[in-house]
Amino acid sequence: MNILLMLREAFYGADPNLIEELKKIGNVKVLYTDKGIDKEELKNEVKDTDIILVNIVQIDKDVMDAAPHLKYIVKFGAGVDNIDIAYAKQKGIRVTSAPGLNAQAVADHAFGLMLSAARDIPKKDKEVKSGYWETTMGSEIYEKKLGIIGFGAIGKALAKRAMGFDMKTLAYGNYKDYELAEKLNVRFVERDELFKEADYIIIATSLTAKNKHLVNKETLSLMKPSAFLINISRGQLVHEEDLIEALKSGKIKGAALDVFEKEPPANELPKLENVVATPHIGGATYDAVVRISDLSISNIKNLLNGEDLDFEVL
């Protein structure tokens, strides 16, 4: 059994047990994906692979066709937008994900980004360390309106945290859990109302063909000039050139971004003064990696034993 792991380097250090447990199952090959992997190189690497464990690398038709022995793709995370699910089904390749297992980590990071942007914390930290001491004014999040795009595991975790800041929470998305929303003081609204009313907007929805560039010139024009945009989901949900224009012109006050259309980003967006940027680390906590590792190992064992797989993408 040949197992190919394609994860960011830090993930392996977060749970050293992952590789050791997989070595008990079969031959393990590791590829670090921090800077991406060339498509032709990837096709060569997968040719003898039975199982792929992957975080963000694209596993499309070409990659699957280059892997004649491939039986199973393990998504090391929740969103499966980097995997051609329809083609995997057509080829009889099974796919599982890990929904909700990094939701708390991502929600924590989203609030960290929101507070950092509101109070300009990264910039002030650099100034103090360089010996410069100046008071500047920031924004509060207490009792402000939080708009959450997407009300899945991460969206719910965000709403729960927002209660501690007495925020008024709006949510927009296809999935509506009215019972929980009532407990968390969440009001479901349509897209335009959320963009118009929210002081802080956090994107926490999965990427689909229909919502690509959900944040664009039109939706940005609806936002308050005092509002902030936070994205901890997928970079493709934001039209980056439109966001750059909105940030430069003052149409919105600022943004905090953990994800970008191209990673690492090649444009000026992360360098703007009113942007806080992090390198796609929302789900990168020791706790989350261990939870996902345990599920991945369990599912691989289930596959080999002919048992049902948890969180199979049907």
- Is residue 263 part of the annotated active site? The answer reads yes
The residues near 122 (Cβ < 8 Å, ≥ 6 apart) are 116, 276
Residue appearing with tokens 């197992």: 3
290 Cβ contact list (under 8 Å, min separation 6): 14, 15, 17
**Annotated active-site residue in 119, 187, 191, 263:** 263
Sign of the alpha-carbon torsion through 113, 117, 119, 125: positive
Q: How far apart are CA 12 and CA 301, in angstroms?
A: 20
Under DSSP, the state recorded for 237 is G
* Two structure tokens written together for 216: 């664009």
Q: Tell me if 221 sits within 8 A of 251, measured CB to CB.
A: yes
Check 234, 240, 261, 291 and give the catalytic one.
234
CA-CA distance, 239 to 136, in Å (whole number)? 30
Which residues are marked as active site?
A: 234, 263, 280
